[in-house]
Structures are given as C-alpha cells and as structure tokens.
Amino acid sequence: MSNQNSQSPHIILRVVSKILIPLIALFALYVHFHGDYGPGGGFQAGVIFASAIILYALIFGLEEAKRAVPPSWVRICMSLGVLVYGGTGVATWILGGEFLNFTSFAPDSTHAAGQHWGILAVELGVLFAVTGAMVAIFYAFGSREPDLKDEDW
C-alpha cells in the first residue's frame, strides 16, 4: 500500500491535506477558546474538528481513518461530551449553587471568573459531543456498500 501511495494520482491532495489537517484541528481549538470573546464556541469547534477527521478519511480512505480514530473512541467521545456537560451542572450543585450556575465556581471573583470557567467547561462538553456525533454519522454513511464502485467510472 505504501508503495502505491507515492505513485497515486492524488499526490497533491495528500501532501496539501497533510499540511492542512493539523492546522484545521488547531483552528477548531482556537474557535473553541475564542468563543468567550468573539464568534465561536463548542458546536462550531466540534464541526471543524470533525471536518479534519472527515478530510483525512476522504483522502486516505475510510479504513485508514478508522485505524487513526477507532469507532469505539468516537462513541466514547460522544458520551464523554454529555458527561462533561452534565457533570459541570452537578459540580455546581456540589459547590452549593443551582444546576449550571457557574458563579459558584468562583463566588468571590470580581470579574465573573466562574462564568468564564463554567462556559469553557460546558462548551468543551459540546465540542466532544459534536465531534463524536459528526464523525459517527460520517462513519455510518461511509461504511455502506457503494452503489457505484470506484473502478466502474
């Protein structure tokens, strides 16, 4: 397989996406952490992160992508997202506030630090859940038997 790769007609796509995939993943994290101050947030970051994985699958093949990001991880990622979101709410309970009342993370802060930490944690949960869901949907559709084989056209 590795011998074929060097002579593949998709050499340009492979090289460019090798450069771009880490940048796309980094940009997803930027969108996530910048969500406090500008446009962005967990959902968008999750979609961008998933698009990096989907680009990998489109260029290098679904089997390679499933070796890099196994479907079991994807399922864990999805449920971990919901757990982080709900867990943030439970943590605020334990700290003595209402469900998802982020002020109880830093009640003495004068610049609402609790809100910042809380929204970042909640959005991190959204990021995990959305990334997992997007990649899972892609794997589910991509794993179907194609109607038209690549060699047929």
Partner 1 sequence: MNGDLLHILQFVISAVLMAGGIFFVIAGAVGVLRLPDFYTRMHAAGMTDTLGAEMILLGLIVQAGLSQTSLKLALIAFLLFLTSPTATHAVIGAAHHAGLKPKLGKYRALAPGEEPLAKSKAKAQAKSKVKSARKSRAKKRVK
The residues of the shown chain that bind partner 1, judged by CB under 8 A, are: 9-10, 12-13, 16, 19-20, 23, 153
Minimum gap (Å) between residue 60 Cβ and partner 1: 15
Minimum gap (Å) between residue 9 Cβ and partner 1: 7
Nearer to partner 1, 57 or 77 (CB): 57
Number of CB atoms found within 10 A of residue 97's CB: 18
Nearer to partner 1, 20 or 100 (CB): 20
Residue 39 CA: distances (Å) to CA of 12, 102, 114, 116, 117 = 33, 21, 20, 15, 18
Nearer to partner 1, 18 or 75 (CB): 18
Phi-psi region of 106 (alpha: psi -120 to 50; beta: other; left: phi over 0): beta
